[in-house]
């Protein structure tokens, strides 16, 4: 297993382009299953989650070829409608295949994803959505077995929670359903209009993507197409928080500032100088960041995927910050590890109180999930001394060329083989 050795006391300085979005690329790759043809997706990041999903689609009969940052997915032959546990357990986004498989093959057998390191992550809204579209769902030995022998029918669906995954899954299923579907209380995260745009490029008739009411006129013929991915707002945001933590000066190019407005507001509140134009954001970090309170929320609120990174910033800010996690109430595995670096964080249910420290100190820490790893790297860069972070496979799921990108900003992060202790 690999670990990162992070040299502390660095100021992040320079320009870095955002990669294509992981969380937009995954559902668009799955949407290719709806078409009997070729989908070319541009700006696909090289990530472990993208390889895992490619493997799953290949098991279903897709032929996938990567050229630079383009992924060509040929889905003319569909040979299997099963998503096995071994793949789903490593990547929950696999549940996205449910809607497209039902629409195209009228059946699907998808392993239930189960929980994750930071608590339960149910898929009940995905299943209720498929039932509303006419699918019969049973659970058999940990698998969701879904069938609709006469095809899916459009329906009016009101989501209890504006879930990104459920909105995307229902949207894809509805594209292949007969008649009109209306999704109310739909997620508005940028990954949803990105998916709606990709589906429209394939020939689907969708209005309202990016609002809380999406209307789909289903069963339009779909065709081979070329679609563009959007920039990764969480990757971009991670570098910007890094600038704020290290008294740095970072410009992230090829990004969408509107997708980052909640973060930009918080960084300004922390004392950073934040400027932006159409496709870049620059953050100049203050000498001493100020404490800020953060409450995660559905888009356009503050993203849960930047909560851990903000907590790293709060750990070395002047004053006491309060971070409230409303989307995933247990998403706090980074707290114990940040405390190992000298942070002072106490937790009461989904509320963390962070007493800022003058400085953090390097230590041995363990990455527990993707965004926790990002927070630990930032904290390690800002800390005094060296930080050793084990289990870097988490970061490889979602940050493209992370060491090279950080090196371009002046950081020293080495990937080393972890010594085995027996
Ligand atoms: N929820 C339900 N039932 C469902 C689905 C969701 O109760 O059937 C609840 C969840 O428990 C949670 C809330 O709804 O409390 C929102 O979850 P959502 O479905 O929106 O999340 P997701 O689709 O599973 C995506 C991202 C996550 C990101 C969340 C929130 C992908 C592949 N994953 O997950 O990204 O945190 O939206 O924005 O797009 C990450 O990239 O590190 C990551 C975890």
pLDDT tens across 358-378, in order?
A: 999 999 999 999 999 999 999
Residues 201 and 56 in one domain: yes
Q: In this predicted structure, what is the pLDDT of residue 217?
A: 98
Domain CATH for 333:
3.65.10.10
Q: Does the pLDDT at position 260 exceed 80?
A: yes
Ligand 1 atom with minimal separation from the 370 CA = 42
Q: Does the pLDDT at position 422 exceed 70?
A: no
Q: In this predicted structure, what is the pLDDT of residue 213?
A: 98
Q: Does the pLDDT at position 184 exceed 80?
A: yes
Cβ of 19 below 6 Å from ligand 1? no
Ligand 1 atom with minimal separation from the 305 CA = 36
Return the best residue to mutate from 20, 22, 23, 373 for the ligand 1 pocket (most ligand atoms within 8 A of CB): 23
Report the percentage of the chain scoring pLDDT > 70.
98
Q: Does the pLDDT at position 3 exceed 70?
A: yes
Residue 76 C-alpha to ligand 1 middle, in angstroms? 30
Q: In this predicted structure, what is the pLDDT of residue 421?
A: 65
Q: In this predicted structure, what is the pLDDT of residue 138?
A: 95
Q: Which of 228, 257, 278 is the last residue of a domain?
A: 228
Residues 376 and 402 in one domain: yes
Residues 172 and 204 in one domain: yes
Q: What is the CA radius of gyration of the chain?
A: 21
Residues 337 and 242 in one domain: yes
Mean confidence (pLDDT) of the chain: 96
Residues 320 and 287 in one domain: yes
> Which of the four pLDDT bands, split at 50, 70 and 90, describes residue 115?
low
Q: Does the pLDDT at position 117 exceed 80?
A: no
**Sheet with strand 70-74: strands edge to edge:** 63-67, 70-74, 38-42, 225-228
Query: Catalytic site residues?
Result: 116
The answer to the question of residue 115 being in a domain is: yes
Q: In this predicted structure, what is the pLDDT of residue 418?
A: 84
Q: Which of 185, 201, 228 is the last residue of a domain?
A: 228
> What DSSP letter does each residue of 392-410 carry, written as one string?
THHHHTT-TTHHHHHHHTT
Nearest alpha-carbon partner for 372 in 402, 414, 400, 336: 336
Count of structural domains, the chain: 2
Tens digit of each residue's pLDDT (9 = 90 or more) over 54-91:
999 999 999 999 999 999 999 999 999 999 999 998 89
Q: In this predicted structure, what is the pLDDT of residue 114?
A: 67
Residue 67 C-alpha to ligand 1 middle, in angstroms? 30
Q: In this predicted structure, what is the pLDDT of residue 419?
A: 76
The answer to the question of residue 422 being in a domain is: no
Cβ of 162 below 6 Å from ligand 1? no
Which residue's C-alpha comes closest to atom 14 of ligand 1? 163
Residue 358 C-alpha to ligand 1 middle, in angstroms? 34
Q: Does the pLDDT at position 402 exceed 80?
A: yes
Cβ of 23 below 6 Å from ligand 1? yes
Q: Please tell me the pTM assigned to this model.
A: 0.97
> Which of the four pLDDT bands, split at 50, 70 and 90, describes residue 311?
very high
Residues 12 and 54 in one domain: no
Q: Which domain holds residue 342?
A: 2-19+231-417
Q: Does the pLDDT at position 116 exceed 80?
A: no
Q: Is 334 exposed, middle or buried (0-12, 13-18, 19+ CB in 10 A)?
A: buried
Please give the Cα distance from 385 to 9 (Å, whole number): 7
Please give the Cα distance from 56 to 250 (Å, whole number): 37
Q: Which of 228, 244, 271 is the last residue of a domain?
A: 228
Neighbours of 50 (CB within 10 A): 24
Tens digit of each residue's pLDDT (9 = 90 or more) over 125-179:
999 999 999 999 999 999 999 999 999 999 999 999 999 999 999 999 999 999 9
Please give the Cα distance from 290 to 234 (Å, whole number): 22
Residue 13 C-alpha to ligand 1 middle, in angstroms? 32
Mean pLDDT of 317-335: 97
The answer to the question of residue 291 being in a domain is: yes
Cβ of 121 below 6 Å from ligand 1? yes
The answer to the question of residue 311 being in a domain is: yes
Residues 263 and 390 in one domain: yes
Please give the Cα distance from 161 to 181 (Å, whole number): 18
Cα-based distances in Å from 280 to 192, 230, 274, 302, 411: 22, 13, 11, 19, 21
Residues 51 and 127 in one domain: yes
Report the percentage of the chain scoring pLDDT > 90.
94
Ligand 1 atom with minimal separation from the 164 CA = 20
Which residue's C-alpha comes closest to atom 39 of ligand 1? 23
Q: In this predicted structure, what is the pLDDT of residue 254?
A: 98
Q: Does the pLDDT at position 327 exceed 70?
A: yes
Cβ of 164 below 6 Å from ligand 1? yes
Cβ of 166 below 6 Å from ligand 1? yes
Tens digit of each residue's pLDDT (9 = 90 or more) over 32-61:
999 999 999 999 999 999 999 999 999 999
Residues 323 and 181 in one domain: no
Residues 238 and 183 in one domain: no
Q: Is 206 exposed, middle or buried (0-12, 13-18, 19+ CB in 10 A)?
A: buried
Residues 223 and 237 in one domain: no
Tens digit of each residue's pLDDT (9 = 90 or more) over 198-240:
999 999 999 999 999 999 999 999 999 999 999 999 999 999 9
Q: Are 313 and 289 in contact (CB under 8 A)?
A: yes
Q: Are 374 and 403 in contact (CB under 8 A)?
A: no
Q: In this predicted structure, what is the pLDDT of residue 72?
A: 98
Cβ of 172 below 6 Å from ligand 1? no
Residues 113 and 161 in one domain: yes
Residue 351 C-alpha to ligand 1 middle, in angstroms? 19
Residue 165 C-alpha to ligand 1 middle, in angstroms? 6
């Amino acid at each position: 297993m690999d670990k990162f050795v992070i040299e502390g006391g660095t100021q992040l300085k320079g320009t870095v382009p955002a990669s294509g979005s992981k969380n937009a690329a995954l559902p668009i790759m799955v949407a290719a299953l709806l078409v009997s043809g070729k989908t070319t997706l541009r700006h696909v990041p090289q990530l472990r989650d993208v390889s895992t999903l490619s493997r799953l689609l290949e098991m279903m009969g897709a032929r996938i070829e990567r050229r630079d940052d383009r992924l060509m997915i040929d889905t003319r032959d569909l040979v299997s409608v099963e998503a096995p546990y071994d793949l789903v357990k490593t990547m929950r986004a696999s549940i996205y295949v449910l809607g497209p498989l039902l629409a195209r093959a009228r059946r699907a057998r998808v392993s239930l994803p189960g929980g994750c390191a930071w608590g339960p992550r149910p898929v009940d809204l995905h299943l209720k959505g498929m039932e509303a579209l006419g699918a019969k769902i049973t659970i058999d030995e940990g698998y969701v077995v879904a069938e609709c022998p006469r095809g899916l029918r459009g329906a009016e669906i009101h989501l209890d929670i504006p879930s990104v995954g459920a909105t995307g899954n229902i949207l894809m299923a509805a594209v292949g359903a007969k008649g009109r579907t209306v999704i109310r209380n739909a997620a508005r995260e940028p990954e949803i209009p990105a998916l709606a745009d990709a589906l429209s490029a394939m020939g689907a008739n969708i209005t309202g993507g990016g609002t809380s009411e999406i209307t789909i006129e289903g069963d339009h013929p779909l065709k081979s197409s070329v679609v563009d991915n959007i920039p990764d707002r969480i990757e971009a945001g991670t570098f910007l928080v890094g600038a704020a933590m290290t008294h740095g000066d970072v410009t992230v190019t090829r990004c969408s500032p509107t997708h980052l407005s909640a973060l930009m507001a918080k960084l300004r509140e922390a004392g950073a100088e934040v400027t932006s134009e159409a496709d870049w954001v620059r953050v100049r970090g203050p000498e001493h960041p100020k404490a800020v309170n953060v409450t995660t929320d559905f888009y356009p609120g503050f993203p849960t995927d930047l909560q851990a990174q903000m907590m790293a910033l709060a750990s070395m800010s002047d004053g006491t910050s309060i971070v409230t996690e409303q989307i995933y109430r247990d998403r706090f595995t980074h707290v114990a590890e940040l405390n190992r670096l000298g942070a002072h964080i106490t937790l009461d249910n989904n509320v963390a109180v962070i007493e800022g420290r003058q400085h953090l100190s390097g230590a041995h820490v363990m990455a527990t999930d993707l965004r926790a790893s990002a927070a630990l790297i930032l904290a390690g860069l800002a800390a005094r001394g060296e930080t050793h972070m084990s289990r870097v496979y988490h970061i490889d799921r979602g940050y493209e060329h992370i060491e090279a990108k950080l090196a371009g900003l002046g950081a020293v992060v080495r990937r080393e083989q972890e010594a085995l202790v027996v």
